[in-house]
Amino acid sequence: MNKDCDLASSPFLHDREPRLKMEPLRVLVTGAAGQIAYSLLYSIAKGDVFGPDQPIILHLLDIQPMMGVLEGVVMELIDCAFPLLVDIIATADEAKAFENIESAFLVGAMPRREGMERKDLLAANVKIFKSQGMALDKHAKKTVKVLVVGNPANTNAFICSKYAPSIPKENFSAMTRLDQNRAQAQIASRLKVSPNDVSNVIIWGNHSSTQFPDASHAEVNVKGNKTKVTDVVEESYLKGDFIPVVQKRGAAVIAARKLSSAMSAAKAAGDHMRDWWHGTPKGKFVSMAVYSDGSYDVPADVMFSFPVEIGTDRSWKIVQGLSISDFAREKLTLTGEELIAEKTDALSVCEN
């Protein structure tokens, strides 16, 4: 490790570059010495996210005190001998980390500690994502796709976008795919089918306890027959226990393992970026927190989770025309109000 905190990449990585046919993709992961990144980096380098033929240059960012741990992560990545991994740039310097990147997983954030209110977490993390937004604006490619994982993810993504004005707002998103995956898994478990047999579950709003997991438009394949989830799962469950189980799943994991849900979060981040990069199958949509245009009469100018379809050109569009019941409207209003309050608090922190 040299004095400017960069970790030298291995010459062994460069030796493989001439044998790869596609141009390497520069992918940033922040919080790279942390638990989520530990699982996520494996999936990226293996080819599960960007494709089995796409060579990767990993940009790894963490804070100065974590450089020793990050050195160990780099060693492990090298020892995995991934054919697609061309180079690794590991640093505590934002300018170097964000230079010419084409995809970013913004995972690093201050974790919520015992006794900490959500507003305290927001105040601490807004400063991080303001700085990273400025670094994106100055150093990243203008086509970069940015996924914010660090919480409070929706508002962090909003702030990050605000301070990267030269990058289109549609290039920023926050992760609600973990909530979608949790919801799919709960329905699949209840019906004793694979989660892959459940589709079009929606997460509306904020990645918080106000989010609304909505199965009213979901479908399930049961023994070869596709049907609406609402036709085979009782309404009392979908409007009852199903919602808080999904909303509070993260807290339940922490209570059980005394650590946050890192493996499932990493899987969800990979799922999110893979679909953004390659598109969604026809007739299927996924949940992403994206810049709101006010669709479904929710607040505009916040990062709100919607059902989206993604084309092969990596552009997403909000699925329109879905029916919203009175029950759902109450939930959308609640989570929208929370996002407005978070945005107001976050902008106050930034301005002060």
Q: Which residues fall within 8 angstroms of residue 159, CB to CB, at 6 or more apart?
A: 126, 129, 130, 133, 346, 347, 350
Q: Can you tell me which residue has the tokens 């995995």?
A: 80
Handedness of CA 101, 102, 105, 110 (dihedral sign): positive
* Residue 79 annotated as lining a ligand binding site: no
Task: Pick the catalytic residue from 14, 59, 139, 207.
Answer: 207
* Residue 225 annotated as lining a ligand binding site: no
User: Is 37 strand, coil or helix?
Assistant: helix
User: Is 101 strand, coil or helix?
Assistant: coil
CA distance 149 to 143: 19
Phi/psi at 295 (nearest 5 deg)? Answer: -55, 145
* Residue 150 annotated as lining a ligand binding site: yes
* Residue 62 annotated as lining a ligand binding site: yes
The DSSP secondary-structure symbol of 205 reads B
- For residue 168, say if its preceding peptide bond is cis, omega within 30 degrees of 0: no
* Residue 108 annotated as lining a ligand binding site: no
In this structure, what token pair is assigned to residue 303?
């990062």
Helical axes 177-191 vs 262-278, angle rounded to 10°: 100
Which stretches does DSSP call E strand in the chain?
25-30, 56-61, 85-91, 103-106, 145-148, 172-174, 198-199, 202-204, 212-214, 219-222, 225-228, 286-291, 303-310, 316-318
The DSSP secondary-structure symbol of 17 reads G
CA distance 218 to 281: 15
Check if the beta carbon of residue 107 is closer than 8 Å to that of residue 331. Answer: no
Q: How many CB atoms lie within 10 A of CB 124?
A: 16
217 is an active site residue: no
Give CA torsion, residues 344, 174, 262, 100, to 10 deg.
-110
* Residue 125 annotated as lining a ligand binding site: yes
Q: Name the binding residues.
A: 62, 112, 118, 125, 149-151, 182
Task: Provide the annotated binding site for substrate.
Answer: 112, 118, 151, 182
Please identify every residue annotated as catalytic.
207
Indicate the annotated binding residues for NAD(+).
62, 125, 149-151
